[in-house]
Amino acid sequence: MSNVSGKAASVRPLPEQQARAWAAAASVPDPEVPCVSVADLGILRSVEIDADGAAVAKVTPTYSGCPATVAIELAIEGALREAGFEVRIERVMSPAWTTDWITAEGREKLRAYGIAPPKRASNSIRALFGEEQVNCPKCGSAETERVSEFGSTPCKAHYRCLACREPFDYFKCI
């Protein structure tokens, strides 16, 4: 597209394009915890349409060594391409992701899936070292014990409920 001067005219993204791009990217499930989407976790920071009409998705990994980062970026790229967009993925490392970014809906999805969501804000003195009390996501009991600092992924710890006797993961506060 060119204007009278011969220079390329910029394409102004339409609000419905923006909404469609966000919806496509936000629907991608987390590969390690498929009950929540990348939007629920807050790792999908934004999706914008650039001047050329391409969707630019900004993603922040849960931590710099997260083994799922590339898989997540490829899944977001695939979802956006399937929705008809040219795509650019930008990895954003600052500010660092925090469990404070998990949405209320995401926390409830974790609980319903059997994973105790992070209980305290990331600025808690105990944030990286587990919680003194983690309620069981199945029965709600506060009578739980940590079995291992690491659960099925490094961002989770493994707990056991002393009331219902069920094991569960706790999504660590980071």
Please tell me the predicted confidence (pLDDT) of residue 12.
Answer: 63
Give the span between the Cα atoms of 151 and 159, in whole angstroms.
8
Q: Which amino acid is residue 140, in one-letter code?
A: G
**Minimal CA–CA distance to 171: which of 88, 123, 113?**
113
Q: What's domain 15-91's architecture?
A: 2-Layer Sandwich (3.30)
Mean pLDDT of 13-39: 93
- Model pLDDT for residues 120-158, shown as the tens digit of each residue: 565 555 555 555 689 999 999 999 999 998 887 888 899
pLDDT in tens, 45-77: 999 999 899 999 999 998 888 889 999 999 999
Q: Is the pLDDT of residue 167 over 60?
A: yes
Domain ranges of the chain: 15-91, 100-171
Beta-bridge partners for 90? 58
Is 1's pLDDT higher than 50?
Answer: no
d(CA 46, CA 39): 9
Strands annotated E in 37-76:
44-49, 55-59
Instruction: Encode burial over 90-111: b for 16+ CB neighbours within 10 A, e otherwise.
Output: eeeeeeebbbebbeeebbebbb
Structure tokens at 72: 């997540």
| pLDDT score of 93 more than 80 | yes
Long-range contacts of 146-151 (CB under 8 A, 24+ apart): 146/170
Separation between Cα atoms, residue 146 and residue 126, nearest integer Å:
14
Distance CA 47, CA 123 (A): 28
Convert 31-61 to b/e letters by CB count within 10 Å (16 or more is b). Answer: ebbeebbbbbbbbbbebbbeeeebbbbbbbb
Tokens encoding 97: 């992701």
